[in-house]
Every structure is written in structure tokens, then in C-alpha cells.
Amino acid sequence: MSGHDDAPDGLDPLVAPDELVDGRTLDDLEAYLDRGRMPRDPAIESSAACRLALRALEQVRGLSLAVLEDEAARLPARDDRWIAGLVASIKAEVVSGRDIPLRHPDPGVRLAVTEAAVRGLLRQVGDLVDGVLVRSSELEGDVSEPGAPIEVTLRVTTRYGLPARDVAQALRAAVVSALDRHTQLTVAAVHVLVDDVWLAERRRR
């Protein structure tokens, strides 16, 4: 009997666990999106990590269709590399990561959110800032220790022509507000690194 036959739950043993999102590969999730999320897969839809990955993949697809068409025509090789880089960052971010504790008045109750959930929140915050796409996020510091100062680093792509300083200030304020509302992290600093720009799609006559 081959090792593949011995794999539990039908999972491919050749795929490393850290490359899976709650037991699914990104290829599986992309195929699920291609089918319009039909037939509905309860295991995927009930998994917070899978839903985060699906949302991020939908965001990447939407951006690629809306704003990369013109640039791909001028630099065909860049489009694939750019999308591949985003997918790689999504793969890293949807892994659960560390638990971030939440205080509760009952000492016998333990509450926590995962690092992946917070990264998903940071992507959502980026969506609300016009002309910004969050490429990756990082939480630096001991997030598992209540009250310990942490720093947030976001690498983003912005639309060509937007003032980088204004974008960074708007995103920084939005991140601080969201983390204050949804977590109990002590945010010492938010670093915004604009490492790429995209050209808005040109109107064709």
C-alpha cells in the first residue's frame, strides 16, 4: 500500500501541513471559487481560516482584473509574478499562528483570537482605504503576553498618483482604531511600507 493510500482524511501526504489552510490547499480553494462556491462545502464554509483565504483570493482576483490589465499589456511577465507574490503572502497569513489572549472578568474563562484572524482584520482595514492593497502584515512582539507592546508592519501597494504619506497616515489611523476595537493589543507603532504601485486602468476609446 502506498503512503498516499495511508493519508488520513484523503489529504495528500506530499503537501506539507504548513502549506494547508485547515486541511485544504490554496489550489483547492481557488478551484472552489472557480465553481462559484458550489456545490457548497460545509467544511470550507465553517472554517474561519478558509473563509479568510477565500476573501483574500477574491480580493487579488478583483484587483488583477480591475487595475492590472493595462500594466500586464506593457509588462506581461510582471502580472504573474505579482499575483504569485500576493498568493504566497496569503498562504503565510492564513496559518493560525499565535493565540492572542482577550481578558475576561471570569478568571476561569480563557478567550483568544488567532494571529491569522488579526491579519485578516488588517486586510479588511486596508480594503477601506482608497487605492490601497495590503500585500502582507506582520505582528512583531509578544502578542501572547497581555499588555506587552507590539509593532505592526504592513507592506502595501498603492494606486499611482496617491501621496504615500497621506496613504500611510490614513492606514495607520485605521489600523490603530480597528485593533483597539477588536483586540486588546498594546500597539506601540504601525509601520506602513509602500513597496509597489499600480497604474489605474486607462480608458480606451
Question: Can you give the pLDDT at residue 180?
Answer: 93
- Mean pLDDT value across the chain: 76
- Among candidate residues 80, 95, 110, the one where a domain is terminated: 95
Whether residues 24 and 74 fall in one domain = yes
Q: Given pLDDT bands bounded at 50, 70 and 90, which one contains residue 113? A: confident
Q: Above 50 in pLDDT, residue 139?
A: yes
Residue 25, pLDDT > 60, answer yes
34 in the same domain as 80? yes
For strands 99-102 and 132-140, give the pairing.
unpaired
Q: What is the mean pLDDT of residues 9-16?
A: 46
Sign of CA dihedral 41, 42, 43, 45: positive
How large is the C-alpha radius of gyration of the chain? 19
Shared domain for 89 and 103, answered yes or no, is no
Confidence label for 15 from pLDDT (cuts 50, 70 and 90): very low
The count of domains in the chain is 2
* Amino acid symbol at 63: L
| pTM, entire model | 0.61
Residues 64 and 74 occupy one common structural domain: yes
CA distances from 13 to 30, 44, 192 (A): 20, 20, 38
- Residue 108 and residue 55 share a domain: no
Q: Which structural domain range is residue 105 located in?
A: 96-205
Q: 24-28, 102-106, 128-132: which has the minimum mean pLDDT? A: 102-106
126 and 186 share one domain: yes
Q: Domain boundary residue among 50, 76, 95?
A: 95
How far is it, in rounded angstroms, from Cα 58 to Cα 176?
25
pLDDT top residue among 164 and 72: 164
Question: pLDDT at residue 131 above 50?
Answer: yes
CATH of the domain at 130: 3.30.70.1350
Q: Do 201 and 114 have their domain in common? A: yes
